[in-house]
Amino acid sequence: MRVVIAEDNVLLLEGLNLLLSTAGHEVTATVTTPDDLLTALDRHDPDLALVDVRLPPTFRDEGLRAALTARRRRPGLPVLVLSQYVERTYAAELLSDGAGAVGYLLKDRVSRVDDFLDALSRVAGGGTVMDPHVVAQLVGGRRSPLENLSPREREVLSRMAEGHANADIARILFITERSVSKHIGNIFAKLGLPATESGHRRVAAVLAYLNGDT
């Protein structure tokens, strides 16, 4: 996998570079500013962009806004946001195009290297990977539009939003994989996502959960 990294913390930047290189990935560029990120993406055409939310000059949301710009230029560009903060407005926008291939992880909650590398692979492959705390922030403070879902269905959908496959959800929730499939079928039906709908219903369901759309 070819990766561009945008991170202003030099020690973390070098650590990520070493980690990915050791895992067999090619880091094609490491940058510290949003402008350099866009330049590097155009120049190297990577498989994934690993981006911090807060970059110079104001350290507010420049990295995430640059990622949105990059996705507009290259629809479906895989982007994994790695940050200490949840920027709700732009994070929701990043997810709203329905193209998938996005992730949002919190630095302080990445506890296992293997899980982090797995998240990279899933995003690069078109999946959606969300830290549960990010999910809670994005849907918190709003009246939920998913009231028709049962508590178990909401739990399954939350795990889907984190990027887990059916087998993983079954293991985490201590239920059978058949039960997971049944719950997901109910979720699709209640969210009005019929089998004939174009696009990936799993991604659409996750976006409905995160964006509050039904």
Into how many domains does the chain fold? 2
Kindly state whether residues 173 and 79 are assigned to the same domain: no
CATH code, domain carrying 9: 3.40.50.2300
Give the pLDDT confidence score for residue 195 in this predicted structure.
61
Note the pLDDT tens digit of each residue in 131-189. Answer: 877 776 765 555 455 677 888 998 998 888 888 889 999 999 999 999 999 999 888 88
Give the pLDDT confidence score for residue 145 in this predicted structure.
52
Kindly state whether residues 40 and 103 are assigned to the same domain: yes
Kindly state whether residues 132 and 192 are assigned to the same domain: no
Judge whether 9 lies within some domain: yes
Give the structural domain span for 36. 2-139
Kindly state whether residues 93 and 196 are assigned to the same domain: no
Best CA proximity match to 46, nearest among 2, 86, 101: 2
Give the pLDDT confidence score for residue 22 in this predicted structure.
95
Average pLDDT over residues 22-45: 96
What's the mean per-residue pLDDT of the chain?
Answer: 85
Give the pLDDT confidence score for residue 2 in this predicted structure.
97
User: Which position has the higher pLDDT, 190 or 182?
Assistant: 182
Judge whether 145 lies within some domain: no
pTM above 0.85, yes or no: no
